[in-house]
Amino acid sequence: MSIHDLLKQYIEEGRIKLDKSIHHELTTYHDPCNYGRKGERAFGHGYYEEPRWVTQQCCENYVEMYPNRANNFCCGAGGGAWAAPYVEERIFYGRVKAKQIKDTGAKLLIAPCHNCRDQIMKSLRKEYDFMDVEVKYLWELVADSLVMEPREEAEEE
Amino acid sequence: MEPLLLTKREKRKLASQYADLCLTCGTCAGGCPVTGVDGLDVRKAVRLALLGMDQELIDSKFPWVCTLCGRCEYACPMNIDLLALLRSARGMRARDKVPGVLHKGVEMCLKTGNNVGIPKDDFVFLLQDLGAELAEELPGFEVPVDKKGAKYLFTINSKEPFAEPEDMMYWWRILYAANESWTTTSENWEGVNWGLFTGDDAAMKEIVGRIVKNYKELGCEYLVLPE
Ligand code: SF4
Ligand code: SF4
């Protein structure tokens, strides 16, 4: 089960409620290679639209990067590169991603992948000077947008 | 330099099934952010493999600075399986020559059930401790561990318990809000399979197999890997 389907299902079925006013800044979405291209090739479905939809349930103000979806550029840390010793090459790789992000003018970037988030938040922001852009996991965005309702005890199984 | 005889091509190991369909158009390399690093690019990697120069490719840094992102493969007009080629080049390296911590992580995961070697007791203690912290805000919350019959089994990325434990709470909040039936496991909960990255199929299968075993033994309906 993909996290995208799960999050989408919770929102659609009304099992979680989200407050759109919390993240009002211009927001963009990074397509991780694994959920997109590679998912498409391996399983016949790339998760492009679901995470965008989830993001837009939390953020009113949304902008795309170019190129995106199947033609998106990798963050530069995939395939184990985040843990590999080729730091200079990893940062060099990320220059394309950094430009894509900066060109959107967004102040919040959503990345539903640990590697992508770490590379962008902990490395590229510093190396390419965009510390003013906040980076969140997709599930972090959802968790931070939650409207918590008191639990009904009757539902205990 | 010895001439490369095309008749030697039968011995190629790396060249994938379709690599000889390559048109040398360069589309793949044109869209790749690390083209030229280490004097190579993905089009050249295909040529090396086709010429039977496997060892040159295996010894080069290129398959490792490549992130296996698949952009080249997606754009290739001949639909050549470039990722399989690059990943096998990684896999054919001697294991002690795998760069950095990747192979050590794989060995650690095979030995302890996670890439960073967190012992079971410490892990369960951490989950309970953080769970109790979150319960101050969300009444009744606790982290379900090895809960039989839970609907969803969640794996965990070891970097979180290792370095950023609070980040696990994002999912916990969502699952609490949705009143979901879920669990994680006290052993073999690692969601990051580095065997995938080092080209180590045997290790990869073993690690996946252990997760599936947990999933079956607990009788969960779905497996969720939040990677
Ligand atoms: S895009 Fe495909 S056909 Fe063109 S050079 Fe690359 S591998 Fe060969
Ligand atoms: S998979 Fe590797 S070679 Fe292909 S575009 Fe991505 S980084 Fe470049």
And the tokens for A136?
């969140």
The reported pLDDT for the residue numbered A46 is 95
Q: What is the mean pLDDT of residues A129-139?
A: 98
And the tokens for A31?
């397509």
Does residue A62 sit within a domain?
Answer: yes
Q: What is the mean pLDDT of residues B117-122?
A: 97
Least CA distance to A6: which residue of chain B?
B224
Are B77 and B174 in a shared domain? no
> What's chain A's average pLDDT?
94
Are B145 and B164 in a shared domain? yes
Alpha helices per DSSP H over chain B: 27-30, 42-50, 54-59, 62-65, 71-75, 82-91, 102-112, 120-135, 159-163, 168-177, 195-198, 201-218
And the tokens for B4?
């490369």
- Indicate the SS3 state at residue B188: coil
CB contact under 8 A, B102 and A10: no
Band of the pLDDT at A149, cuts 50, 70, 90?
confident
The reported pLDDT for the residue numbered B218 is 97
Q: What is the mean pLDDT of residues A13-24?
A: 97
Q: What is the mean pLDDT of residues B7-16?
A: 64
Of the candidates B93, B112, B134, which is a domain's last residue? B93
And the tokens for B212?
């599936």
And the tokens for A137?
């996991």
Query: Ligand 1 pocket, B85 CB below 6 A?
Result: no
- CA atoms of A2 and A45, how far apart (whole Å): 11
Tokens 């395939």 correspond to what residue? A79
Are B139 and B59 in a shared domain? no
Are B63 and B121 in a shared domain? no
Reported as half-sphere exposure (CB side, CA atoms, 13 A), residue A140 has a value of: 16
C-alpha distance from B58 to closest chain A C-alpha (Å): 16
Select the residue of B102, B171, B174 nearest A83 (Cβ to Cβ): B102
Is residue B6 over pLDDT 90? no
Does residue A7 sit within a domain?
Answer: no
Does residue B78 sit within a domain?
Answer: yes
Does residue A91 sit within a domain?
Answer: yes
Are B191 and B165 in a shared domain? yes
Of the candidates B62, B93, B124, which is a domain's last residue? B93
Are B212 and B109 in a shared domain? yes
- Residue ranges making up the domain that contains A132: 23-147
The reported pLDDT for the residue numbered B94 is 95
Band of the pLDDT at B227, cuts 50, 70, 90?
confident
Is residue A157 over pLDDT 50? no
Read off the pLDDT of residues A116-132 as tens digits, 9 standing for 90 and up. Answer: 999 999 999 999 999 99
Mutate to test the pocket of ligand 2, among B38, B72, B81, B83 (most ligand atoms within 8 A of CB): B72
- CA atoms of A143 and B52, how far apart (whole Å): 52
Q: Which amino acid is at A60?
A: E
Through-space distance between the first and last CA atoms of chain B, rounded to whole angstroms: 47
Does residue B1 sit within a domain?
Answer: no
Phi/psi of residue A124, nearest 5 degrees: -65, -35
Does residue A12 sit within a domain?
Answer: no
Q: What share of chain A is helix, strand, coil (3-state, %, to 5)?
A: 45, 10, 45
Q: How far is the CA of B25 from the centre of ligand 1 (A)?
A: 5
Strands B152-154 and B182-183: parallel
Q: How far is the CA of A35 from the centre of ligand 1 (A)?
A: 23
Are B142 and B66 in a shared domain? no
Does residue B25 sit within a domain?
Answer: yes
Does residue B21 sit within a domain?
Answer: yes
Strands A108-110 and A27-29: parallel
Read off the pLDDT of residues A64-112 as tens digits, 9 standing for 90 and up. Answer: 999 999 999 999 999 999 999 999 999 999 999 999 999 999 999 999 9
Of the candidates B49, B67, B93, which is a domain's last residue? B93
The reported pLDDT for the residue numbered A154 is 47
Q: What is the mean pLDDT of residues B146-170?
A: 97
Are B72 and B149 in a shared domain? no
Q: Which residues contact B169 (CB under 8 A, 6 or more apart)?
A: A143, B130, B134
Check: CB of residue A93 under 8 Å from CB of residue B33.
yes
Are B11 and B117 in a shared domain? no
CATH code at position A66: 3.40.50
The DSSP output letter for B224 is E
Does residue A9 sit within a domain?
Answer: no
Is residue A50 over pLDDT 60? yes
- DSSP letters, B79-135, are ---HHHHHHHHHHTS-GGGS-TTHHHHHHHHHHHSSTT---HHHHHHHHHHHHHHHH
Does residue A17 sit within a domain?
Answer: no
Does residue B43 sit within a domain?
Answer: yes
Q: What is the mean pLDDT of residues A54-60?
A: 98
Q: What is the ipTM of this complex?
A: 0.95
Q: What is the mean pLDDT of residues A4-17?
A: 97
Q: Which amino acid is at A152?
A: E
The reported pLDDT for the residue numbered B63 is 96
Residue nearest to atom 6 of ligand 1 (CA): B28
CA proximity to B70, closest of A72, A90, A98, A68: A72
How many domains, chain B?
2
Tokens 């809960």 correspond to what residue? B147
Does residue B169 sit within a domain?
Answer: yes
The reported pLDDT for the residue numbered A156 is 46
Mutate to test the interface with A, among B27, B41, B69 (most CBs of A within 10 A): B69
Percent of chain B with pLDDT over 90: 86
Read off the pLDDT of residues B198-215 as tens digits, 9 standing for 90 and up. Answer: 999 999 999 999 999 999
Reported as half-sphere exposure (CB side, CA atoms, 13 A), residue B138 has a value of: 24
Give strand pairing partners of B184. B145
Is residue B51 over pLDDT 90? no
Does residue B153 sit within a domain?
Answer: yes
Are B19 and B126 in a shared domain? no
Q: What is the mean pLDDT of residues A8-26?
A: 97
Are B117 and B210 in a shared domain? yes
Are B107 and B85 in a shared domain? no
Is residue B119 over pLDDT 90? yes
Read off the pLDDT of residues B76-99 as tens digits, 9 standing for 90 and up. Answer: 999 899 999 999 999 999 999 999
Percent of chain A with pLDDT over 90: 93
Does residue B34 sit within a domain?
Answer: yes
Does residue A78 sit within a domain?
Answer: yes
> In B107-119, which positions are buried (b, 16+ CB within 10 angstroms) versus exposed (e)?
bbbbebbbbbbbe
- Residue ranges making up the domain that contains B23: 6-93
Does residue A97 sit within a domain?
Answer: yes
Q: Which residues contact B122 (CB under 8 A, 6 or more apart)?
A: none
How many domains, chain A?
1
The reported pLDDT for the residue numbered B146 is 97
Point out the ligand 2 atom lying closest to the alpha carbon of residue B71.
5
Residues from chain B contacting residue A33 (CB–CB below 8 Å)? 67-71
